[in-house]
Each structure stands twice: as structure tokens, then as C-alpha cells.
């Protein structure tokens, strides 16, 4: 199928749907300057193993390593801005078609782009908390202490180590993941998966909850065979074209 026909087919499915949701991944934000994990030649995984620096084990046993590597990457992500793909998804919600989106991204770009119903199932970089007493802090407090070379940053209450509100390797999934899963199981008749390799579990189970699937991704995914439409294009272009087709048809 030609690209234009794929967009039209996807738009027609969305218009017929009664429960249209999106699942987004790191590929949606590469065009905002944030590397994903698995793009060959560019993905973070080729430069270092995130498990060695972004795990609960490292944070607890060697917080300095966590703060001198993974944390710097997190802090740089907070400067990024949404791209046309994020804005297109916000538009689809605004015009009443998209019921909500589940994102694996921690970059907060869906919030910045104006989406409302978002499940950030791997957390976000707007806040952090104390591992000991659980007192909450704005993310900037962690950044501020690191800039002052207070590594690791500590709680003003109990002096235990602070951590960002992201799901690290080895963390359990947060309650909102199960909320998103329940919502999809009950309501999702169509899912648009954009910019995800769909290999990181348990999120990668979620497409199975949708009756129909549309995929936008530059590389093949393990769900391509099950999708009604697979669009092999950059998220920014494909999502913007799709939003336009939905708004004008």
C-alpha cells in the first residue's frame, strides 16, 4: 500500500473506532533530540548498557555511579521540546478522537504538547522523592544538588538518597500502569503504536489488549504481522499527516 493510502486507511479506522488509544515510545522523541534505545548506530544501548547505570541496584549500591551517568542523561532530557508528532497526538485528543495515550517515555513531552489523558507508565522527570522517608521534591532540587556536587543528592529531612520519579530497571511497575492496562482491556478497540520497538515488557503486552492495531515505526516490530496498517515513516511526519487527514475528512 502507498504511504498516502496507509494514512487514509488509518484515518478511516480511527473514525470508525469507539475506543481509540495510542501507545508511544522513545522513537517518537528522537526528533526532539532524545536518543532512543535501539535505533542502530544512534540508540543508547549501543553506547552503554542502561542496566549497568539505570537500575535500582546501582542506585542503592552505588548511587554515585547512577548520578554521574544515568542521571545526567535524564537531566539533559528535560530541556527537550515536543515535535510535530507530539502535537499531532494532542490534536487528535482535542478533536475528540483519541481517548488517551500510554507512553513509555519519561521525557514529559506529551504533557508539554498539551495532551491530557496520559499514562506515563515509566514515570517522568518532573519530580523525585527520598528513598527513605518518601518526602517528595521537584526534579530541579535533584539537579541543583548535583550541580553543587552534592552527589548523591540527599533528603533534607532524613539525609537518605533522593531518586527521580522514573521506573528504573528492577523497579516494580507503578499503579498507573495497571490503571492503563484496565482501561485498555475494557475500552480499546483500536491502538496506534508509535515509535516503539514493542519489546520492553510488560508494556509490550499492551497491544494485545487492542482489537485492532496501527503501527508507525521506522523499523519492523514483532507486532507488524498483527496490524491493520504498518506505516514505515518518521513519527513526526506520519502523525502530522494523520492528524490532518482526521481534521479535514
Nearest to 9 by CA among 195, 217, 216, 196: 216
User: Shortest CA distance to 4 belongs to which of 221, 237, 247?
Assistant: 237
| From 9, 12, 43, 176, residue interacting with ligand NAD (rule: CB under 6 A) | 43
Report the residue number whose CB is nearest to ligand NAD.
27
Please state, in angstroms and rounded to a whole number, the distance separating the CA atoms of residues 119 and 100: 8
Using the rule CB under 6 A, give the single segment among 1-9, 34-42, 54-62, 148-156 that binds ligand NAD.
34-42
Cα–Cα dist 120/107, whole Å: 9
Identify the CA nearest to 151 among candidates 13, 36, 245, 59. 59
Cell representation of residue 217: 515505526
Cα–Cα–Cα angle for 193, 78, 45, nearest 5°? 60
Quote the least distance from Cβ 132 to ligand NAD, whole Å.
Answer: 26
34 is an interface residue for ligand NAD by CB under 6 A:
yes
Q: Which residue in 183, 34, 56 sits closest to 105, CA to CA?
A: 34
Q: Considering 86, 110, 122, 124, which one is annotated as catalytic?
A: 122
Single out the residue of 89, 206, 234, 245 in contact with ligand NAD (rule: CB under 6 A).
234
Is position 144 annotated as part of the catalytic site? no
Binding of residue 218 to ligand NAD (CB under 6 A): yes
Considering only residues 81 to 110 of the shown chain, the ones binding ligand NAD according to CB under 6 A are 104-107
Question: Total binding residues for ligand NAD by CB under 6 A?
Answer: 27
195 binds ligand NAD (CB under 6 A): yes
Residues annotated as catalytic (active site), given as ranges: 122
Binding residues for ligand NAD, rule: CB under 6 A, are 25-27, 29-31, 34, 36-39, 43-44, 104-107, 122, 195-197, 200, 217-219, 234-235
Amino acid at each position: 500500500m502507498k504511504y498516502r493510502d496507509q494514512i487514509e486507511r488509518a484515518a478511516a479506522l480511527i473514525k470508525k473506532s469507539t475506543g481509540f488509544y495510542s501507545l508511544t515510545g522513545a522513537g517518537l522523541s528522537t526528533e526532539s533530540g532524545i536518543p532512543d534505545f535501539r535505533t542502530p548506530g544512534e540508540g543508547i544501548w549501543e553506547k552503554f548498557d542502561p542496566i549497568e547505570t539505570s537500575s535500582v541496584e546501582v542506585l542503592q549500591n552505588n548511587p554515585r555511579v547512577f548520578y554521574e551517568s544515568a542521571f545526567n542523561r535524564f537531566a539533559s532530557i528535560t530541556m527537550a521540546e515536543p515535535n510535530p508528532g507530539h502535537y499531532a497526538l494532542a490534536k487528535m485528543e482535542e478533536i475528540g478522537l483519541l481517548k488517551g495515550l500510554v507512553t513509555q517515555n519519561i521525557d514529559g513531552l506529551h504533557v508539554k504538547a498539551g495532551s491530557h489523558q496520559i499514562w506515563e507508565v515509566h514515570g517522568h522527570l518532573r519530580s523525585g522523592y527520598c528513598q527513605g522517608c518518601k518526602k517528595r521534591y521537584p526534579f530541579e532540587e535533584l539537579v541543583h544538588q548535583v550541580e553543587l556536587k552534592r552527589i548523591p543528592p540527599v533528603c533534607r529531612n532524613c539525609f537518605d538518597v533522593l531518586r527521580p520519579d522514573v521506573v528504573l530497571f528492577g523497579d516494580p511497575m507503578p499503579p498507573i500502569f495497571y490503571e492503563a492496562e484496565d482501561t485498555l482491556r475494557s475500552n480499546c478497540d483500536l491502538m496506534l503504536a508509535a515509535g516503539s520497538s514493542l519489546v520492553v515488557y510488560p508494556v509490550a503486552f499492551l497491544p494485545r489488549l487492542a482489537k485492532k492495531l496501527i503501527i508507525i515505526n521506522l523499523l519492523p516490530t514483532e507486532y507488524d504481522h498483527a496490524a491493520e496498517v504498518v506505516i514505515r515513516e518518521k513519527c513526526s511526519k506520519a502523525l502530522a499527516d494523520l492528524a490532518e487527514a482526521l481534521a479535514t475528512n
